[in-house]
Amino acid sequence: MFKIYGARQLYNSKVLNHALQTRSVSSYYKLFPKTLTQGPPPHGPFDIDLKQLRQEYLQAQKAVHPDVAQNTNGVTSAQISQAYKTLLQPISRAEHILSLNDSSPLVEDNNEVDNDLLIEVMDVSEQIQESNDISEIRDLESRYNNRISSDLSAMAKNLEAGDFGTAKKTLTRINYYTKLIKSLDEKAEELK
């Protein structure tokens, strides 16, 4: 997949040509075929070798650099960067995978979110606002970081099994918990 020109190794433009049939990338996984050989879940794993992804990202960026690129078939540095940033983080990676497998948006409408989750989030939000105890804030922060970690593992298994509906609900819960963590961080800063 590499051609050597002088002392430079260039990412083969055939990879980029194959990745795009048009100027828009349907799956970011196509831009990193060496790292993500099996594609997105359910065909490939959710977890990614981030070191290998970074190496392939840098090679792809070199290939589209104006001083080097001969034919990138419309692939831009910005598209490669967006793909890399998306795949780097588990939450944005999951959102991308869900968008590939389901055209409906993520569940953020309160009418579609589990009532127990909404009640929990409202209760904890109120608790955060009223608290003046840094240890209480740290305990809540630890609890919700653990829940996010557990939910990320469960979501990865759901995606790998092709259970996109459950993965979407889990991702919605993770997004709510992430917002709680942000509120907890802000409150902790306020109490310092």
CATH number of 2-88: 1.10.287.110
pLDDT score of 24: 46
To which residue do tokens 């990138």 refer? 72
pTM, full prediction = 0.79
**Overall fold of domain 115-191:** Monooxygenase (1.20.1280)
pLDDT digits (tens, 9 = 90+) for 132-181: 999 999 999 999 999 999 999 999 999 999 999 999 999 999 999 999 99
* Token couple for 126: 């109120």
- Answer yes or no: is pLDDT of 187 > 60: yes
* Residue 68: Cβ-neighbour burial (10 angstroms; 0-12, 13-18, 19+): middle
Residue extents of the structural domains in the chain: 2-88, 115-191
- Answer yes or no: is pLDDT of 128 > 50: yes
pLDDT digits (tens, 9 = 90+) for 28-85: 999 999 999 999 999 999 999 999 999 999 999 988 877 766 655 677 888 999 999 9
To which residue do tokens 């196509």 refer? 30
pLDDT score of 70: 62
**Which residues lie across from 8 on neighbouring strands?**
5
